[in-house]
Amino acid sequence: MGFLKLFKPPSHQKFSYKPRYWDPKKEEAEERRQRVEQLAKGGVDSMKTRISGGFRRGQGGEASGAYRSARVKQSNSTLIIVLVCLLALAYLGIAVFFPDLNAWLS
C-alpha cells in the first residue's frame, strides 16, 4: 500500500554504534546459562528474573508499542483516504445521476 502514502515525514538520522569485539551469540548463551543457574536455585528471586526477562525479550512489554503505534497511524490514514474517496464518489454520483435531487433539496 505504498502508493497511498501522501505525506511522509522526514526520517531522523540514525546512530549505529557497533562495538568491535562483541559477539551476540556468546552474550545470549551467557544470559541463558545465568538464567538456568538462577532457576536451579529456585525461590522468589528466580521467578522475578524469569518474569522480567520475558518482558525484556518482547513478550508484551515495550517492544510491541512502537510497532503497534506505527500500524495504528497507517490504518488511520488509510481509513481517512478511503472515506474521502467514497464521499467524493457519492457526491459525484448524486450530481451526475440525480440532478433534480439537488434542486428538490434546496
Question: Is residue 77 a part of any domain in this protein?
Answer: yes
pTM: 0.39
3 state DSSP class of 81: helix
Could you give the number of structural domains in the chain? 2
Question: Model confidence at 73, in pLDDT bands (50, 70, 90)?
Answer: very high
- Residue 106 belongs to what domain range? 72-106
Question: Is residue 14 a part of any domain in this protein?
Answer: no
Q: Which residue has the higher pLDDT, 37 or 42?
A: 37
Question: Model confidence at 61, in pLDDT bands (50, 70, 90)?
Answer: very low
**Spatial CB neighbours of 6, under 8 Å, sequence gap ≥ 6:** 77, 81
Question: Is residue 49 a part of any domain in this protein?
Answer: yes
Question: Is residue 48 a part of any domain in this protein?
Answer: yes
What's the confidence (pLDDT) of residue 83?
A: 97
As a whole number of angstroms, the distance between CA 90 and CA 51 comes to 54
My answer on whether 25 and 56 are in the same domain is: yes
My answer on whether 101 and 78 are in the same domain is: yes
My answer on whether 47 and 79 are in the same domain is: no
Question: Is residue 13 a part of any domain in this protein?
Answer: no
